[in-house]
Amino acid sequence: MDGKVCVITGGANGIGKALVRAFDKEGASVAFIDKDGDAGKDLLSSLQDQKKHFFFEGDLASESVLVEFAEEIKKRYGKVDVLINNAGFSHKGLLSGCTYEEFNEILRVGVSAPYYLTLLLKEHLNPVASIVNITSTRAFMSQKDTESYSAAKGGITALTHAMAMSLQGLARVNSIAPGWIDTGDDENFSEADRKQHPSERVGVPEDIVRTVLFLCDERSSFINAENITVDGGMSKRMVYHGDEGWKYNK
């Protein structure tokens, strides 16, 4: 990644933080944005070569923030080799009374921002760039009261293959759907937490980092408009009452 420019949204914490550190280690220049200013500044100060990176504090739900962030990227680097649309959060859904404005805020951050940031940077994509959208297994399966997050992740999943068609020759566009990824201390997990996954563990941010780096590698150039699920096999487990000890509790 030496000499390449990587843009990461939601880069101050969790998976985004791990991605910023990984691309720094790989030698890329990293521009990342997050509304958590303290965490973003702390992360920037910990990187190997602070002068080649920059952190932008701002809310991705705001159009003006997206414009300012994109302009700063263009001014500093003049090109983009990798764009990772990672930011997202949840206001829950129907059962908790998620409001119209709260629901649309999720969509602005999770769907509108990836679209608009790509549009703003389109003329500066360095062929052939790699765009990776971080979606979720919740785009395909759900628990109760998750409508806002599920809608946003479903939207960015569909946006992925649409963008891949429009950006042919400019960028490859793929998505990753993480399952349960823990950013804390996995020693707190129960045996059931781990063993319910066919891989017999809960995921960690590095599982997503490795998949992102694989997709951004030029040798992966024939992978395009695709979604890769990284969930330890959990979303493929078929569950029936009484099967393998699974029981339905009303």
Please indicate whether residue 149 is annotated as part of the active site.
Answer: yes
Q: Are 211 and 227 in contact (CB under 8 A)?
A: no
Q: 233 in helix, strand or coil?
A: coil
Give the closest residue to 77 by CA, choosing from 39, 59, 57, 51: 51
Catalytic residue from among 100, 116, 149, 240? 149
Give the closest residue to 2 by CA, choosing from 52, 47, 41: 52
Which tokens go with 47?
A: 């990187």
Classify residue 155 as left (phi > 0), alpha (psi -120 to 50) or beta: alpha
Which tokens go with 246?
A: 């699974």
Report how far apart, in Å, the C-alpha atoms of 232 and of each of 141, 179, 187, 223 are. 15, 8, 18, 21
Report how far apart, in Å, the C-alpha atoms of 189 and of each of 186, 192, 196, 237 are. 6, 8, 11, 20
- Report phi then psi at 57, rounded to 5: -90, 125
Give the closest residue to 18 by CA, choosing from 154, 241, 211: 211
- Measured on CA atoms in the order 7, 13, 14, 18, is the torsion positive or negative? positive
Place of tokens 């990461």: 8
As annotated, the active-site residues are: 149
